Amino acid sequence: MFENLRLYSLLALAGICPQLLAVPAEIAESDFACARQEYGETRKGKSVDGNALSLAGKVYASGIGTHATSMIPIDVPEFEDGVRVFTGVVGVDDEVSAGIGDGVECRILSGTEVLWTSGVIRRGEPKTFRVAVPRGARKLYLLALAGENNWNDHVDWVNLKFETGANAALGASESNPVFRGEDYGLVPGTKDATPALRKLLKAVHQGNGGGKIVLPKGDYHFYPESALEMSFHVSNHEQPTIHPVQISLSDLRNLELDGNGSNFIFHGKSLALLLMDCENVRIKNLKIDYARAPYSEAKVVGFEDGKTVVTIDEKAFPYMIRNGQLRFFGEGWQCGVGSVIAFRAGTKEIVERTSDIGYGGRAEARPDGKVNLLFDFSKVGAGVAVGDTLTLRTWSRPHPACVIYRAKNTQFKNVSIHSGWGMALLAQRSHNIRISGGGTFPRPETGRVYSASADAFHFSNVGGKICIENAFFETMMDDALNVHSTCLGIEDVPAPNQIRCRYKHPQAVGFEVFLPGETLRFIQGPTLEQKDEIKVKQVRKLNTNELLITLEKNIPAGLGKGDAVENADFQPSVIFRNNTVQNNRARGILLTTPRKVVVKNNTFKTVAGAAILLAGDAQGWYESGPCEDVEISGNRFLNNLTSYFQFTEAIIALYPEVRNLSAQKQYYHRNVRIFDNEFETFDVPLLFAISSEKLSFTGNKIRYNNDYRAWNKKPFIFRRCKDVRISGNTVAPLGSAGYAAQTWTLDDVRLEKTPADTVKFRAK
């Protein structure tokens, strides 16, 4: 292909401009690794079953064999004149038996719109396409949608070519154009803003793929009927076949979107905002919310005969009681109840010692319009009371509100994400993300108590630097921040330099953990000890759950099934500074990365579990990345650990999941420095650590209170730790007006598999 490009350029310089140049599409190995499909392997030059590509009796030498539903990203080549046309043939492979299935629909997408659709295609009915390619496009996406009975929906994309030529040349585009919403009909108050926004984004894509979008301030509503259907994997969520993407800013670069403080209100079960295959995209001054929150809320008004009497705002949270079960519904969806989180009236704190309340939704209607929940919530934990709010939730998390995927240098400034069908923001397989202001919390005018349905901000396999500052996080259903690397389990070693790996958690499958040229690091599964690093030579995605990875060197001896691998190139440094995290479920922030971490000048207030967790595992979620350089300083910790959640043994917990601690030769976390912080707390452990060395707790101020029930545990708990220093702290005991120098001794420490002389004390 590149020889043809050079020939075309030489002819053009000589003044001999050919009318048309067509070159075969070069499908990179990385494109196959990035593909998503429901069954089997995306194959180059073969059908999904490994046969010759055959459509309506004709055999094709080149193309892609896939299985619907699937989406394959392909690179657009860089012609000097720009690519103008993409051509080819698509159809159902002849290896499918006649009459099986009900056909497929194939589409070609840019990053922002559908460029071509085939209509329904059945075996023996291939379609030829000739598609104009937007000037700014660097990626196209080949989408094959299965019918309802998607048996044997084997789809072939063949004879794929890109064309350019002097006759197709377009005029030059502006280098930094401004796109004003009103010029495209994108103004507040429109019933559905999606068509106008799609028109504006088409103009951006037809230019150089960048510029500045400026919107008049107001409320903009977006509906799922106008969403762009796309198919890709997202980490730590369910894996729906289709994500209905309401705003796709994919395949754009050097773009700024300024919402001027507008509300973007999304309807239905959908993904609100996608930034995929982007570079230098900045979003600012925007509020993102859903018209109907995915979870519902009920206010407690009384207790009768072991039942909890509640009122439910039927306009905000439409519901019905069917066969004695409470059912909630919204635009195109309905659900039951799986559990409850109880928030205290007035403070919005999670009710002490309640955690996740198991409640299956049994209910009955009352003549006065109220509802009896057939469960006595007053008996749970510290007791739910009249006036408290119950968040009635499922465990479902199909779509994040916002996704950053394969993007570089992304910025959010003053962007608030108020709710979502899963995490508020998920970033994966990206580099360098900066977030300033905004955060995740209920939009005040809705009157809701809870915000995101899972984590607020979640980062999986992100490289470079993550910086989050001056943001506010409140009442999420999980962590405010979670940073980790997704590791894979080794299933087999079919050759000395080859491993077959498996995504181990069903909500963390499919997205590309490794690509050729990247650095693979081994992890010994039972001990979590890191081993050799080797460059990846080749990656075959055998199916959604498995990869076959060929390495440039042989695998070290002693590694195999039961061990794990991670990508050493996608582990970021993190700055979390000047933020507030309060009243949320589970933990404040969760970190697993070996790069430098700074957690500074934040407030962690009434987080139901640990304020800070340094984790790591290769047995559950397979979220790896030992912490090796962590500063926790200048923070205020106010009454955290009001309930109990997984891995929350102390206000600050270092809790890697090590199956065989006794066999460890190395320590997992190291160089964690906790200093100059203020703790205002009831009697709970301050610091818990497993498999950690060079751990210090110095210069902190601790003031004790009796605001909540004491745990009656020692302030420090160390399990197989080394080189721990506790010094220079001041403590104000319960009832004391002032601080005094610490008087802690080994009697204040619980030691497990940790020698007594490894903990050093010194008064201020």
User: For residue 639, what are its two tokens?
Assistant: 């009454």
Is the same domain home to 17 and 164?
yes
Residue 270's DSSP bridge partners are: none
Do 577 and 712 sit in the same domain of this protein?
Answer: yes
- List the one residue out of 141, 20, 151, 25 whose CA is nearest residue 77: 25
- Cα 247 to Cα 245: distance, rounded to the nearest angstrom: 6
Closest CA to 446 of 475, 415, 425: 475
Order of strands across the sheet that contains 325-330: 319-322, 325-330, 333-335
| Separation CA 23–CA 392 (nearest Å) | 56
30 and 98 assigned to the same domain: yes
Tell me which residue of 586, 593, 549, 542 sits closest to 568, measured CA to CA.
593
Q: Which DSSP symbol is given to 641?
A: -
Tokens at residue 216, please? Answer: 């008049």
- For residues 513 and 462, membership in a common domain is answered with no
* Angle at alpha carbon of residue 39, lines to 37 and 43, rounded to 5°: 70
Residues 454 and 326 in one domain: no
- The answer to whether residue 488 is domain-embedded is no
> How many C-beta atoms surround the C-beta of residue 643 within 10 A?
25
Contacts of 220 (CB under 8 A, 6+ apart): 186, 188, 190, 193, 197, 262, 263, 264, 265
Q: Is the same domain home to 255 and 347?
A: no
Question: What secondary structure letter does DSSP report for 446?
Answer: G
- Give the pLDDT score at 28: 85
Whether 220 is covered by a domain: the verdict is yes
Looking at residue 251, which CATH number applies to its domain?
A: 2.160.20
pTM above 0.75, yes or no: yes
Give me the residue label for tokens 């080549």.
Answer: 77
Token pair, residue 661, equals: 């601690």
Residues 471 and 535 in one domain: no
Distance CA 449, CA 438 (A): 17
For residue 496, count other CB atoms closer than 10 A to its CB.
9
Q: What is the pLDDT of residue 170?
A: 47
Give yes or no: residues 750 and 713 share one domain.
yes
Query: pLDDT at position 7, please?
Result: 42
What is the number of other CB atoms lying within 10 angstroms of the CB of residue 98?
8
- Asked if 641 contacts 513 with a C-beta cutoff of 8 angstroms, the reply is no
Which DSSP letter does residue 625 get?
-
C-alpha atoms less than 13 angstroms from C-alpha of 590 in its C-beta half-sphere: 29
What's the confidence (pLDDT) of residue 16?
A: 42
In a domain, 484, yes or no: no
Same domain, 426 and 374: no
Q: pLDDT, tens digit, for every residue of 68-118?
A: 999 999 999 887 666 789 999 999 999 988 766 668 999 999 999 999 999
Question: 440 preceded by cis ω (within 30°)?
Answer: no
CA angle 449, 579, 282 (to 5 degrees): 95
Domain end among 126, 145, 168: 168
pLDDT < 70 stretches in the chain: 1-20, 80-82, 99-102, 149-151, 165-173, 763-764
What is the C-alpha separation between 294 and 716, in angstroms, rounded? 40
Residue 483 maps to a domain: no
Same structural domain, 271 and 401: yes
The single-letter code of the amino acid at 507 is: Q
Examine residue 97 and state whether it is found in any structural domain, yes or no: yes
Shared domain check, 752 and 607: yes
Q: Give the tokens for residue 27.
A: 């499908």
The percent of the chain in helix, strand and coil, each rounded to the nearest 5, is 5, 45, 50
Of 563, 580, 610, at which residue does a domain stop? 563
Q: Which domain holds residue 554?
A: 501-563
- Strand pairing of 319-322 and 139-146? unpaired
DSSP structure string for 356-368 = SEE---BEEE-TT
- Using the 3D structure, point to which of 369, 393, 417 is the last residue of a domain: 393
Residue 596, domain member (yes or no): yes
Buried b (16+ CB within 10 A) or exposed e, 265-303: bbbbbbbbbbbbbbbbbbbbbbbbbbbbbbbbbbbbeeb
pLDDT of residue 25: 84
- Note whether residue 485 is domain-resident: no
Number of domains, the chain: 5
494 lies in some domain = no
Q: How far apart are CA 70 and CA 66, in angstroms?
A: 7
Same domain, 146 and 31: yes
Tokens of 300: 């407690």
pLDDT for residue 22:
78
